[in-house]
Amino acid sequence: MHNVRIAATCLTVLAASPVWAAQQAAPALAQRIINDPRVEALNPYGLNLPPAIRADKKVQFGKAMRIPLTGHQDFWRIGVTTPVLKPVKKDDQIVIAFWARAEKTADGTAGKIGRVQLEATPVIRTIFEQAFEVGPEWKMYQVKGVADRDYAPRQLNAAMHLDSARQVLDIGPVFVLNYGAKRGE
């Protein structure tokens, strides 16, 4: 009985440890990722030449896609996509989280991403979206929404429509996470 109490006490102390809690949360978070978040897996479109992927120790995984932009009224003409590789069910809570920073903006103002969206494919239909202002330092941004119906793998993309201002955008890893349906629904 004494050994059981010692074990229970050790587990209680261990569970209260931030390191242990983070180690337990990591697999759960990794299981929520439903795309390939690596920069090399992004699918750029609308450019004459593929954008450069460069080393950058200040961003997660150490790589970024650099995209020089001129800014255009039709900002969706240049962007990147990442396909959702796992099934999504109606009412699943989806988060698109991405690393970005902007350089060489007009008068040092914030950079702009015209739209980040979850979209159905192959006929593009937006499920949820948001525009972003992007600063000069690396930062993780996110947009949240809810799936409107069930989708098989590769029937959804996270898309970033980028050409909304004269700027140089660096895009780091892009994560699409599925948190499932809200409890009680």
pLDDT number for residue 184: 59
Q: Are 141 and 97 in contact (CB under 8 A)?
A: yes
E-strand stretches of 9-151: 43-45, 52-55, 63-70, 79-83, 92-103, 111-120, 125-134, 139-146
N-term to C-term CA, the chain: 42
Which residue has tokens 């996509």?
81
pLDDT in tens, the chain (185 residues): 444 343 333 334 334 444 444 555 566 888 999 999 999 999 999 998 899 999 999 999 999 999 999 888 887 899 999 999 999 999 999 999 999 999 998 888 899 999 999 999 988 999 999 999 999 999 999 999 999 999 999 999 999 999 878 899 999 999 999 999 977 55
User: Which helix (H) or strand (E) segment is 29 a member of?
Assistant: helix 18-32
pLDDT number for residue 15: 43
3-state secondary structure of 8: helix
* pTM for this entry: 0.83
pLDDT number for residue 112: 93
Omega cis (within 30) before 122: yes
pLDDT number for residue 105: 87
What is the C-alpha separation between 84 and 34, in angstroms, rounded?
A: 6
3-state secondary structure of 15: helix
